Amino acid sequence: MTVEKDQKFIPYVWTVMRWHNEYISWDPNQFCGIDNVSLPAEALWIPDITIEEMTEKDKAPPSPYLTINDKGDVEVQNDQVLVSTCRMHIYKFPFDIQNCNLSFKSIIHTAKDIRLQPSDNSTEATEWSRDVMRTQYEWLFLNMTVTTNNASDLISQDIIIYTITMKRRSLLYIVNFLVPVLFFLCLDLASFLISDNGGEKLSFKVTVLLAVTVLQLILNEILPASSNRIPLIAVYCIGIFAMMLLSLLETIFVMHLMEKDSQASQDNKADNGRSKDCNKRGKANFHNSHQEGNEWTQCGCIYDVCETPSELLPVTKEGNSRKGIEEYHALEKLSDELREMQKTLSLLLSNTKEVAKPGYWTRVAKKVNKVFFIFYLTVVSLFLIIIFLKWNTG
């Protein structure tokens, strides 16, 4: 098994070491046909072979016995669970293939003292590993390559490198991670069918965005803190998160436009109400002024009748009537001028506030929403196609 976060490889290793002891041999015929014996491991010298990548040795004790035959060939078999370092290339996670090395060499002896040779070639080592393999966890064992680095001089060391190639079983990550993120993206696309008038659409988008954030936190616990290249799965999550964030900002902008249109409608209603009130007041003032003029004329006539001589009465009545008519025409002229000014002001307001007509910003918001949806769907499709192609070929 492997631990990507700590860049560790934890294999179960079976090792078989064979060497020739020239000081031990016997004739089986002289010892009742015995051609091999088992002895305690402490009874004979054992090569100090270690694994270079090992960081933590198995706590279980090694095999306490070794086997020796009549020709002096000694064999030690041992199995252990060890923790070793392995440089994980997680660019294509969870569709990655990893290669981990186990390098066997002597601790202190050089090529002058110990020469190392593999007992099996790559094909034999692969077949034997498949036969004895007990469990593979999330990994599928592909093959094992055996490489021998012989020392070029006697002061160097021989090294035998076993390269284990394995492929990750990605089904669990697809079901538990990739597909849910894709489902959240589909929900975000479906949110364009929700009306922008209320706040339900905004709340829905924020909830979906937070769900993707939780999955990113889970991913952060799996992937190592450092890597040569940004993993495609991180690009996948960040890209979807960025597009959903852009969709959220677009929703806020559309709601702002619609709110602006609603505010403009309320202002227009208030202006119309004030205009009607002004017209009513103007008409009322005009009628009141006209009635006051008539009353003043009548009063003047009664006063003249009471105070003036009878021969001057026709002249006085004619003078007062003419004065009232002039005032009446003056008020009518003033009223016409006020109406003209009102029409001029209304025309100016309609020209300068054309965009404030009820429904204008709503139409703009709907056009923005439609254009953004087409853009959003196109970008999402291209992004997913590129990501999955890189996963297959990258």
Let me know the angle formed at the C-alpha of 197 by 191 and 199, rounded to the nearest 5 degrees. 65
Contact between 70 and 88 (Cβ < 8 Å): no
Question: How far separated are the first and last CA of the chain, in Å rounded?
Answer: 24
* Mean pLDDT of the chain, nearest integer: 80
Hunting for tokens 């999330």 — which residue is that?
A: 138
Consecutive H or E run containing 19: strand 12-20
Residue pair 53/37 in contact (Cβ under 8 Å)? The answer is: no
Lowest-pLDDT range of 61-65, 143-147, 167-171, 302-306: 302-306
Q: How confident is the model at residue 315 (pLDDT cuts 50, 70, 90)?
A: very low
pLDDT over threshold 90, residue 8: no
Q: What pLDDT, in 10s, does the model give residues 83-125?
A: 888 888 888 888 989 999 999 999 898 888 899 999 889 999 9
Is the CB of residue 188 less than 8 Å from the CB of residue 248? no
Position 256 scores a pLDDT of: 87
Domain ranges of the chain: 2-168, 173-267+371-392
Q: ∠ CA 135-82-88 to the nearest 5 degrees?
A: 80
Residue 14, both tokens: 């079976």
DSSP 7: T
Percent of residues in the chain assigned helix, strand, coil, to nearest 5: 55, 20, 25
Q: What local confidence, expressed as pLDDT, does residue 18 receive?
A: 92
Q: Quick check: pTM over 0.75?
A: no
Residue of 179, 145, 183, 148 whose CA lies nearest to 163: 145
Distance (Å, rounded) from C-alpha 132 to C-alpha 137? 15
What type of residue is 151? A
Neighbours of 157 (CB within 10 A): 19
pLDDT, tens digit (0-9, with 9 covering 90-100), for 211-261: 999 988 888 887 776 667 888 999 999 999 999 999 999 999 988 888 876
**Tens-digit pLDDT profile for residues 332-373:** 777 777 777 777 777 766 655 554 454 777 888 889 999 999
CATH topology of domain 173-267+371-392: Methane Monooxygenase Hydroxylase; Chain G, domain 1 (1.20.58)
Q: Please choose, from the candidates 341, 37, 391, 17, the residue with its C-alpha nearest in 3D space to the C-alpha of residue 235.
A: 391
Q: Which tokens go with 192?
A: 């364009």
- The C-alpha atoms of residue 394 and residue 391 are separated, in whole angstroms, by 6
**Is residue 164 pLDDT above 50, yes or no?**
yes
CATH architecture of 2-168: Distorted Sandwich (2.70)
pLDDT score, position 330: 74
pLDDT digits (tens, 9 = 90+) for 234-248: 999 999 999 999 999
Q: Beta-strand (E) ranges in 241-331?
A: none
Max avg pLDDT among 159-163, 172-176, 299-303:
159-163
Cβ atoms of 328 and 321 closer than 8 Å: no
